[in-house]
């Protein structure tokens, strides 16, 4: 036991002498050997710590950078979606503008004053084929005023009416009719709506009238509602002979889609 204590004391004493000698002995650079060794050790430790800190900062920097890129991408996606919506809206506005220009272009062909109107509603009842327009008594509209569209005759104004709205009976309605002239043959007659196979049918024309498919059918003005010269449609088919002859007319207007119309407000009506 005593020998072990003496050996430990001897080792500690030797280490102390070595440290004292190292503290006094200088290296080639003039710095004590002990200080130089301690500096090198701490430098290595600091290097390791600095490397770890740089790695940590790099990770965080990349994380925040990626997070920022994700936010920018989301903002760009939202901006693209908004721009797509604006493009679609502008296309819709352009389409409505073209439709209105085409309808208003008919004014140059008419002598009577006309008033443009938008279709704002349809009639859910299958018994009466009509639409509602955004013009009414406050705009000077009255029952039995003729209504035309881009292709030709649409129908006539019917009651009841409001200051800012009116109903238009479509020409394809079963109770609608118009006095017509067959352009090629010069024969007169009436065209009515309500046919199942074809929306319009011709009646009350002369038995000897030479009516042929493809012939234009125009208003004659003799009904006191529609002025003369508006296109009603074209003859689609002629079948039978004599009193049993059936003439169907393809309408000039696409009645499945009517958005803008013109009301003839200044025509002289008997």
For residue 134, the domain's CATH number is 2.40.10.340
Claim to verify: residue 123 and residue 183 sit in the same structural domain:
yes
What does pTM read for this prediction?
A: 0.60
Claim to verify: residue 148 and residue 223 sit in the same structural domain:
yes
Q: What is the pLDDT of residue 44?
A: 53
Q: What is the pLDDT of residue 64?
A: 53
Claim to verify: residue 213 and residue 266 sit in the same structural domain:
yes
Q: What is the pLDDT of residue 119?
A: 92
Q: Tokens 């003369």 correspond to what residue?
A: 228
**Does the pLDDT value for residue 28 go beyond 80?**
no
Largest CA distance in the chain: 152
**Does the pLDDT value for residue 18 go beyond 90?**
no
Claim to verify: residue 206 and residue 231 sit in the same structural domain:
yes
* Per-residue pLDDT tens over the stretch 137-191: 999 999 999 999 888 899 999 988 999 999 999 999 989 999 999 999 899 999 9
> Could you tell me the CA-to-CA distances from 149 to 99, 106, 131, 159, 198 in Å, in that order?
10, 8, 13, 20, 20
Claim to verify: residue 92 and residue 124 sit in the same structural domain:
no
**Does the pLDDT value for residue 43 go beyond 50?**
no
Claim to verify: residue 161 and residue 267 sit in the same structural domain:
yes
């Amino acid at each position: 036991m005593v020998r072990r204590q003496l050996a430990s004391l001897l080792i500690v004493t030797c280490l102390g002498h070595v440290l004292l000698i190292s503290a006094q002995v200088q290296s080639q650079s003039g710095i004590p050997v002990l200080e130089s060794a301690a500096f090198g050790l701490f430098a290595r430790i600091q290097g390791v710590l600095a490397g770890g800190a740089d790695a940590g900062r790099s990770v965080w920097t990349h994380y925040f950078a990626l997070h920022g890129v994700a936010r920018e991408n989301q903002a760009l996606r939202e901006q693209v979606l908004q721009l797509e919506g604006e493009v679609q809206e502008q296309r819709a506005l352009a389409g409505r503008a073209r439709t209105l220009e085409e309808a208003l272009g008919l004014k140059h062909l008419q002598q009577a004053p006309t008033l443009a109107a938008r279709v704002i509603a349809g009639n859910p009842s299958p018994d009466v084929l009509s639409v509602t327009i955004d013009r009414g008594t406050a705009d000077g509209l009255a029952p039995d005023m003729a209504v035309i569209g881009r292709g030709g005759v649409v129908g006539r104004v019917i009651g009841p009416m409001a200051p800012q709205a009116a109903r238009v009976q479509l020409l394809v309605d079963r109770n609608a009719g118009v006095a017509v002239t067959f352009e090629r043959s010069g024969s007169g007659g009436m065209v009515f709506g309500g046919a199942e196979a074809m929306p319009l049918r011709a009646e009350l024309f002369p038995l000897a009238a030479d009516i042929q498919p493809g012939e234009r059918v125009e208003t004659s003005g003799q009904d006191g509602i529609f002025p003369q010269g508006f296109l009603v449609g074209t003859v689609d088919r002629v079948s039978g002979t004599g009193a049993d002859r059936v003439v169907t007319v393809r309408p000039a207007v696409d009645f499945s889609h009517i958005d803008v119309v013109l009301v003839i407000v200044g025509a002289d009506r008997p």
